[in-house]
Amino acid sequence: MNPLFIVLFNFIVGVVLLMYGVGMLSDGLEKANVKIMKKVLGLFTKNVFSAFLVGTIATALVQSSTAITVLTVGFVNSGLITLAQAVGIIYGANIGTTITAQLMSFDLSYFAPFIFSAGLLMRLFFKRDSSKNIAKAIMGFGLMFIGIRILSSGVPYIRESEFVYRLFREYGTNPYIGVVLGMLTTMLVHSSSATVGITIVLFNSGLIGFEAAVGLTLGDNIGTCITAQLSSIGTTLGARRTAWAHTLYNVIGTMSVLAIFYPFSNLVYHITHFLGQDNTRLVANTHTLFNLLSAATFLPITKYYIRFIQWIIPDKSQNT
């Protein structure tokens, strides 16, 4: 059989299962925690720092920064929270979502069918909705790793296809191409976790270099902002400012890292090995460290960042 056909088949099936698994995981956890999440977001975001902690914890619970960000846009739109509180939640949401990437960096693919089966049995026999939602999340967790396994199984055939392998070798070391591809792919699939998962497979298989993997990961963080932008269409000024605060936060962070690209990459490499981890954890650690550094940089200057957002997205009614 033509190696190129096998590569395309494995890629399509693997990506679909990975995306569907991530979606099931997030949806199950979100529905299981939705009441708690809404109360926490509304009650415990009195200042930027508490909002940051709430954003981190809430996203860690539901494993979807998109869901938390869209909820935040909605809360600002309805006047439940301020722009300053929303910005704090966004900082935290970007950190909370990195847990999925950390999980995907472990080789759990051999256990994936058993994890999925356990979730399926739980969903069939449990009666309570909360238990069924947890079971759905477990099924998604298993599907996520089944998708990764199928993606990885196509790697040997990539090496047999001269055209595809040459394509990876020629463009798989360019971080700037990686940023663009990561951004566009995440915009299409609406899941940075899925595209980070693909990046982990490509890097750990030796098809792309670490520079390109860092670029893809940075691009993923920009691409995920498209959902918040779409959810803010036709909303209040505050909600639109929240969506742009999310977008510009990731754009500025990415541009800053690109300006110090090699020092940042070296920092990720050294921290990974200092923690006693191997190179298979580099992509996940890139994602985590980028978002930790972004939050650490922006938290002290949030007051000025909000003024910047207000200047970029002005209140036109005051000018009339």
In a domain, 319, yes or no: no
Range of the domain at 127: 3-155+167-314
102-128: average pLDDT? 86
Instruction: Identify whether the C-beta of residue 118 lies closer than 8 Å to the C-beta of residue 137.
Output: no
pLDDT at 295: 95
| Predicted confidence (pLDDT) at residue 268 exceeds the cutoff of 90 | yes
pLDDT at 310: 93
In a domain, 160, yes or no: no
- Give the lowest-confidence range in 19-28, 136-145, 164-173, 208-217: 164-173
Among candidate residues 194, 190, 186, the one with its CA nearest the CA of residue 147: 194
In a domain, 126, yes or no: yes
In the DSSP assignment, the letter for residue 122 is: H
In a domain, 179, yes or no: yes
Among candidate residues 226, 219, 228, the one with its CA nearest the CA of residue 251: 219
In a domain, 162, yes or no: no
Q: What rounded mean pLDDT belongs to the chain?
A: 84
228-244: average pLDDT? 89
Q: How far is CA 147 from CA 110, 171, 196, in A?
A: 11, 24, 13
Between 6 and 320, the more confident residue is 6
Q: How many domains does the chain have?
A: 1
Distance of CA 47 to the CA centre of its chain: 25
In a domain, 283, yes or no: yes
Q: For residues 10-49, b (16+ Cβ closer than 10 Å) or e, as one string?
A: bbebbbebbbbbbbbbbbbbbbbbeeebeebbeeebeebe
Which stretch, 8-12, 59-63, 207-211, has highest mean pLDDT?
207-211
Among candidate residues 290, 145, 267, the one with its CA nearest the CA of residue 220: 290
In a domain, 121, yes or no: yes
201-208: average pLDDT? 84
**Band (259; pLDDT cuts 50, 70, 90):** very high
| Predicted confidence (pLDDT) at residue 101 exceeds the cutoff of 80 | yes
| Predicted confidence (pLDDT) at residue 1 exceeds the cutoff of 60 | no
pLDDT at 159: 63
In a domain, 161, yes or no: no
| Predicted confidence (pLDDT) at residue 317 exceeds the cutoff of 70 | no
| Predicted confidence (pLDDT) at residue 157 exceeds the cutoff of 70 | no
| Predicted confidence (pLDDT) at residue 24 exceeds the cutoff of 60 | yes
Please calculate the CA angle 294-296-300 and round it to the nearest 5 degrees. Answer: 115
pTM of the model as a whole: 0.83
